[in-house]
Structure 1
Amino acid sequence: MAIFNSTDATSKENERSDSSFRTPSMNGPVASDTVVGTSVSLEGEFTSNENIVIHGQVRGTVSTEQDLTIGESAEVHADVSAENITVSGLVEGTVRATGRLRLTATGRVKGDVSTKSLVVEEGAEITGQFSMGSDASSTKVAEVLRGQKDEKTEKKRETMAERDASAEDAIEKLVPEGI
């Protein structure tokens, strides 16, 4: 099998017959993918320096500095992070794309989303808190929303306390003391 490009016909034929062989690029190492097949189920922390393609089931965390692709048949119940993420299946958990998040028509995300840019095809679903832009941080979004929720809860408590006090005053006026 030829390692370098060659004009030798036999070497070229051998290269073509071995589909897993890739000729090294002059620009750097050959990128390869880590693939989780449809019959595979993983649980735990899944980290790779390569592209990750998931067609099976994963629970836990998934992270790569490269691209992450969630196939149409995939079910990912995990926090995921990657440069670019494409979702065609289901992801339940925190999704953090430092580059682009793309949801295809069959993609579903349930959880907090943080991304620099977003592409959503018609039919895709996103449920959860969302942050987008160059400074996107799901933590900041969660803190802001949590603060808003705390303020609303406090206002409801104050309103209920005022109603209770008004009701007690009304009862005291209607019912004489000592009864």
Structure 2
Amino acid sequence: MTPQQYAPLIVLLVLLPIILLRNRAPRTLRPQWMWVTPAIVVPLIGLGLWGSSQAQGADHTPFDTVSWLILAVGLGLGCVAGWWRGKMTTIQKHADGTLKAQASPLGIILIVGLFLGRSALRSVLEPHAAAWHLNALAVADAFLLFAVGMIVVQRIEMFIRARRVLAGRPDSHVEAAV
């Protein structure tokens, strides 16, 4: 592994305990503000996709059918992962009417697995992409689309469930706190 590949792993090892400690206690959930994160992340990742296609020395060959399929699979898998993460988040309504949400540790494991998978795939894909008839840029972009799908669909799922809880309708993944 090169030093450029070590840096993300070191950052992950430093941030993982902080994230796990932060997610031990439920946090206040404000459904009216759930659109903010996707509104920030989607344009930033869009700029990242555009920037990677404009980068100096990047492969500027147009995407073929397989490349578009790779992008669609990345987005689709991200949507499924986001729905799953949203479903795994516990939402509680307290007596004062506030909502509290606690992320599942499985969701964090999913993100860590994605991060490690992307790092491992990059080191394998770059030298073999041409032999496998894959566009390396499409594979890298598929990981960004995975992140977009996961973030947006998770927020949508949690918003729908939060509205149900506020309306007093039962939800199989929601617990009412006393």
TM-score (norm 1): 0.24
The structure richer in helix per residue is 2
Per chain length, whose mean CA-contact separation is higher, i.e. which structure has more relative contact order (CA < 8 Å, sep 6+)? 2
